[in-house]
Structure 1
Amino acid sequence: MKRFLTLLFTTLLLSAALCVSASASNYDSVAEELADIGMFRGTSSGFELDRAPTRSEAAIMLVRLYGAEEEAASSYQAGEISHPFTDVGETAAPYVAWLYTNGITNGTSSTTFGSGSCSAQNYVVFLLRALGYKDGTDFQYADAAAFAMTHGLFDTSLVGGVFLRDDLAALTYQALACELKDGSTYLLDSLIQDGAIDAEAAKPITDKIESYRTLASLSAAERMDTDFTMSMDMDFTMEGQSDGQPIQEKESMSTTASGNIQMVLSETPQMAMTMKMTMLDETVDLGLWLRDGWLYVRMDQDAYRQDISAEMDEFMALYQQLMGQGYQSNVSMMMPFIDSITTKTSGGNTVYTLTLNRAFEALYQDLFSVILDEVMPMMQQAGIDFSLDFNVDTFSYTYTVGSNNQLKNATADMVMDVTVGFKQGEADTISLAISMDMDMTMDINAMGDQVKVSYPSDLSQFPEITAEVPATTTSAA
């Protein structure tokens, strides 16, 4: 019982540990890469990523994304372009004048451009215009964020809160990898072709975009059959006192799983997953099947089925909307979170190694913070305080592509450390250090039309449930 309570307590603390706010600045490396190509510049105080961008700063970025910075400067100096706004400083004046003269943006009134902060909505509209889309024709202003997401622009401030220069940098970086409306190429390549950005300076970014586009195209299959294995080791040390009594424990827990996934994503999605999982010296056989809007679950001898057609309709509507833009939209969304992509050849195969950066760790934390937002106030009301240090040491993927240009396998590796402090009153003070190492490998059996989903013959015998899965399910006949 003691070990069970310890593990339960550890799980709760780990969940609480993930409920943290990321630092105000997550995309420092993105800002530096943008600075290397002249796209993003700081002030005497640095990049100032932790404050909201002004409308003038957004205007400057927009002109650079049009590849018109030099044209704006020379035309303004020659008196060929101007603007009527009294609240625009000398630094931003050429940019605002170029946008105003070309009918791309207006002010908040006939004499004011607007000295306040630029919202995410405003900036997304600017980016869509730079990609060739027209508001009022291709999209409506009120729906700009949703339209932008289906084209590869994910507003990172949705999970972080206020739209900052940090988020502006992330969205700009995404935009550089977005396809132009006419489908001819992506924005950064277009700027290089036009001579607005130096190709050599941009090579680290273009290499990253091109490599990830290749990976995304290889894995963008609506049909897949894959075997998988997973292992996770977790060590934790607990010290302190509970009810005034000293606690000092060390525990280790290993979990392994292996199985097969068959997946067909179409108008009526189908899936079959069978898995054998071993945890705390206990092995469980698990099966999940999705067919005609019904979810079927079997755990050892227990089984049930549930109608999830409404949820699947919503999921497929979003999926089809995203996939309708091709794999390129997913490429641009992920770009701010990729630290590096390296390639090497091995035995006739090409091996890609993709490493995620600190920004992904911060996004991961923020997402859990949103999920647990309703839980934390209750814990605080109960007088429970937490302190923590959360760090993802490694988050990387390796993809092996055969000589036939087909994806053969993919692996994921995550190493994470969490240190949690727990305090309630004077009698309960506990420090918990957790180390987690997880590895997962997927071996691709087939992709495309060859994939067929296999189902058990007795699915009709699974008892139906209409609410949440009960603690004890009824055995299938």
Structure 2
Amino acid sequence: MRSKFGRVAVMICVLVMLFALTSISHATTGDNEGLATDLKELGLFNGTDKGFELEKVPTRVQAAAMLVKLLGGESEALAKKYAHPFKDVPAWASDYVGYMYEKGLTKGISATMFGSNNNASAKDFSTFMLKALGYKDGDFTYNDVLNFAKEKGLVSTDEFNKLTTSTFTRNEMVLLAHNTLDVTFKGSEDRLIDRLVDAKVVSINVANSLKYYDYPTVPMEVTKGENSSLRFEIHHERISPEILDQLVFYSTIGSNMKLDMSTTEKLAKLIFISDFEKTYYQELAKEYGLFNPSGWYSKSNYFLNSFMGKDLEVAYYFEIPTGLSPGTYDLAMIKPNPELDKRLKELTVEYKNYYTSKMKSLVIMTPEMYNVVKKEDGNNYISFNKDKMPAELAKFTGITLGFTSGGSEIDYQLVLKSEFIVLGSPTRAGLSVYNDVDPILVRYNGNIIVGFYDDNLDLLGVGMFFVNE
């Protein structure tokens, strides 16, 4: 659930704090130190080597560069290198100003001047913010922009009076940012903080801890393991009793891969729970109740997880981010919104169709199709006899190998669910090219599942073999 804070303020705060500015005196320099600290925790404000320097004034070009970053446009700006007509823009900022010019966010102060080194005024900054919110020149005029900002809730009457009579500094930018956190985009209910979280610019867990959201939380403890490794443990017994009573089971559905949750579709596939999993989890829940998992953790690991409700649907999902150090964390438990919930139900039907269709064409590896040998280096290697394979399987060019702690039979549903989730991905995690000559190193002992892929990364077949120590 989103709290009564908004995205616009966050954007403004970030812009404010990262500027290197001309020093001036100001009577209320330290007023917004707490807000600046919050923004720093959100990753939106670094200050300078001298601290936040809230008494200083931002330049227009510095404000422009930070605005582009907050809009999520930095990658496009640096890649596209849009042209602009301004002669006073330093080389380091040209791509940012070009992006703003291309997107209609600025016209400069004249046909050929951006006013790069000019101090950014309250009017300048408010203009940038309103345009970022979808408003255009016809919606307001530069001279009346502060009145328009007050009308839209960016500033109160008292604050409006101060902005029109005092020098505009980083201190006022922080305050303006905070005040506009609840301001929505033109024609939308979307906030700036929401978009920054969606774009992974801001961590949902940090935003939640600072009350920009009001999600319930799941406590997690990260401790030191052996050989400088880390371990994590989810403490489900410390979840709110009201929330806990709604849940049946906890499912770890992420991995140490880099997960892409940039769209509802991608997020839905990552937290999708198929019918066969629901049955499995329900049986475990009868025996153990809520599962309290623990496992290895490293700063490069990233997990996406879900809690099942009593209706066996995803009740909440949460993420264990990268870069954690030993300590206790409260992770945001996010309830699927109507769009995501609808997509999860649709995926159940789509997966059934995919599974039925795929099983008809999937070739199962048999013993004569492979050889496992232990070489002098002590490692096990596998090679394949394509002349013993059906024509469809023999055209494979890549394989994946994975260890399973299960029984001696392939869990086709689990294999095909993994394929269904990453369908359309340009790569397969752990895919090795097979050249028909060199055997493949087997890094695990026990039951090994192998997947066979063609040049189009389409799964042709699967198999299982056992490797002794």
Q: Which TM bucket (shorter chain)? A: 0.3 to 0.5
Q: Relative contact order: is structure 1 or structure 2 higher (C-alpha 8 Å, sep ≥ 6)?
A: 1
Bigger radius of gyration, 1 or 2?
2
TM normalised by structure 1 equals: 0.35
TM-score using structure 2 length = 0.36
